[in-house]
Chains A and B, each alone.
Chain A
Amino acid sequence: MSSPSVSLSPAAMPAPAPAGRLSAELCLRIYDLMLRARVLEERLITMYKQGDGYFWIGGPGEEAFNVPLGLLVDKGHGLDHDYLHLHYRSSATLLALGADPVDSLRQMKNTATDPYSRGRNFAGHYSARKWNVVPVTSPIEVQFSIAIGTARAQRAGTGAKGITIVQGGDAGTAEGDFATALVWSSRRGQELPLLMIVTNNRYGISTPFTGQHGYDQIAERGKAFGMPTAVVDGNDPEASYLALQKAIEYVRTERKPYLLEAMVSRLRGHSSASGANPVKGEIDCLERFEQTLESRKLLTRAQIEQLRADYTEELLQASKRVREEPQPTPESVHDYIFADKNYVGGEA
């Protein structure tokens, strides 16, 4: 995206951050990405509602947690960087990694230019081998089994510097794959460098948390497996950043698993199947962080409104361009069924 018309430079701000807070510069960077992610999801919903896509699912309400995640991973390709097994609410993580939001519009419009799936998969189903972002799947649990494999390739003794991060929602932890990850990652002497993240929005489609789980926090389950656990307010980007930093540092150094649960919001419901309309009674992490930044005199309301207007306009124009991009041809259904080279093994 082009540079915003409002400068986010914190040059005039006092430097040291109090305990539990991040520096002004980092706060503004996180805020900018949170806003971009929110505006992107709003554009995707609008595209869906205007007939420029068949289905929407995404992450409004997870930005305060997912942006810090994207900023904190060791981004790159191969075992010395972090593998990411994300879910379909991870747009903010992708933007924080440096993804072009226009590519998300392409996936929504299922164009041939969609770099994540070439028009084959729903919005929010990211894939980026160059950054170790393993393809996002619609099943809400399988990433917990698959992540064991990348973590095993990075286990202690291999010399790999990267770790594996796997993320899913609270409802998906009822599936056996979540237990699989707990069991396999914590075997004594064979521990895996695996950060398990549960973003708990307290719903599985329409089923509330209490209708599915008889315990208060999912993180409690990690304790039986001897791994450190934490619960963080995922609507607070500073707390999320610090909790993630601690968890990532532990996994990277100890080469052992860690279970982190983030309490987040689901601001537009499950998906377009439930309307994708604003949901009352949920904390909006973006609004809350704007108030924080205003109270700390890091941003003014006018600047916030200007930024939002700029980003919104930018993606509106981009969506018009994407509309004109080619759709996949019928013949292309036969492309990429079998590989002729071992690309993941380094062949090109």
Chain B
Amino acid sequence: MATMVQAIRMALHVGESRLGVTDIFGQDVGPPLGGVFTQTQGLQTAWNTPLDERGIVGTAIGLALAGQKPVAEIQFCDYAFNTIDLLKIAGNTYWSSGGDWNVPMVLMTPVGAGIRGSIYHSHSFDAQATRIPGWKIVMPSTPRDAYGLLLSAIQDPNPVMFLMPKALMRIKAEPGERIPGEPEDEKQLNKMIDAPLGDRSQWRPEWPPLEELFVPIGKARIAREGRHVSVLTYGRNVHMALAAAAELAAEGIDAEIVDLRSLHPYDWDAITASVRKTNRVLCVNEDTEITNFGEHLIRRITEELFYELYAPPKLVAGGHLPGIGLADHLEMASVPQKNTIKAAIAELAAHEP
């Protein structure tokens, strides 16, 4: 079964060979490295840029306006903050030109903590991203969703941000989550599409006969069905929430885990259905807690579903801290962990109106 990083690479291959992708670029994206997580190895249209994030985003906008299909990468989202006014332009060009110019670009960037990445390799970007109208924003938690969401992002005529949870880059797909066309034997896949160590100048990947799979933007996935508490989350925290739910099941608490997958547009129908079922809501994400995307969901749930609720909605998010410290204890204390999620679910489940 493919890892998430292999799934991303395979989606980019399908993108450049069948869906019109013309340029896959960013710092260290082209040969010889093929991405700091190996996500762009062996791709025909991958090229290296100068170390200049504003240039990367500007170039993506320009390529899109020129009728190309660019996929740009910011190596870590921590380095995207100096591009925010360009991201705003990508998001507002179709609107400000009164429908004259759409901007069909994809921006990929690794996000979040979990690799002991210290202050500048641990940032989240979902709170920032959801504050830039005109963008669609997706964030997978499984290799199959990474593949299907990236293909949908490529096909979309609008700017789409593809947030890659960096702690999940090496996770493998669960049984039944196969990417259509990938070989059964994962060792065979590794041999086919992973670049060898050392000199790669003569290496060419051998792509499996991949089929297209479009995970629609704007549709959530119920990662675990449950009756007592709805956990609205995405990315890395989906797996923590699932682990917490598995432990709580032994205590008779049955949590439903909703993997939003798309942050904008988000699946309000799925959220509504889950809240109506469980009447208790927990939002979980890693971004800092003040002006957090989970806060928006809680505000809307409170306004529109108030009389469905048996308990005040809760948010488990990153602390409002200037950074994520390197030491193990510091990182663990800065962003949600399985046990904090578990405690919050248990507290909600026990709450009676």
**A and B are partners in one complex rather than unrelated chains:** yes
Q: Does A19 contact B (CB under 8 A)?
A: no
Across-interface contacts of A153 in B (CB, < 8 A): 22, 62-63, 66-68
Across-interface contacts of A346 in B (CB, < 8 A): 67
Contact of B57 among A118, A129, A145, A151 (CB under 8 A): A145
Q: Does A342 contact B (CB under 8 A)?
A: yes
Q: Which residues of A contact B (CB under 8 A)?
A: 78-79, 83, 114-118, 120-121, 125, 127-129, 134-135, 137, 139, 142, 144-154, 164, 176-177, 180, 183-184, 187, 335-347
Across-interface contacts of A336 in B (CB, < 8 A): 94-95, 97-99
Interchain CA distance A176-B96 in the complex, whole Å: 24
The stretch from B4-12, B100-108, B305-313 touching chain A is B100-108
Contact of A149 among B20, B66, B93, B158 (CB under 8 A): B66
> B52 and A342: CB pair below 8 A?
no
Across-interface contacts of A164 in B (CB, < 8 A): 62
Q: Which of B274-313 contact A (CB under 8 A)?
A: none
> B157 and A339: CB pair below 8 A?
yes
CB distance from A156 to the nearest CB of B (A): 15
> B101 and A134: CB pair below 8 A?
yes
Interchain CA distance A40-B20 in the complex, whole Å: 43
Interface residues of A, dominant DSSP:
loop
Q: Which residues of B contact A (CB under 8 A)?
A: 20, 22-23, 49-50, 52, 54-55, 57-70, 85-86, 89, 93-104, 133-134, 136, 157-158
Task: Look across to chain B and name the residue whose beta carbon is closest to the beta carbon of A340.
Answer: B157
Contact of B95 among A120, A147, A154 (CB under 8 A): A120
> A127 and B63: CB pair below 8 A?
no
Contact of B93 among A128, A135, A184, A347 (CB under 8 A): A135
Contact of B102 among A79, A121, A151, A342 (CB under 8 A): A342
Across-interface contacts of A139 in B (CB, < 8 A): 85, 89
Interchain CA distance A238-B94 in the complex, whole Å: 37
> A117 and B66: CB pair below 8 A?
no
> B95 and A150: CB pair below 8 A?
no
Across-interface contacts of A114 in B (CB, < 8 A): 98
> A142 and B63: CB pair below 8 A?
no
Across-interface contacts of B57 in A (CB, < 8 A): 145
CB distance from A225 to the nearest CB of B (A): 12
Interchain CA distance A142-B70 in the complex, whole Å: 18
Across-interface contacts of A150 in B (CB, < 8 A): 62-63, 65-66
> B100 and A127: CB pair below 8 A?
yes
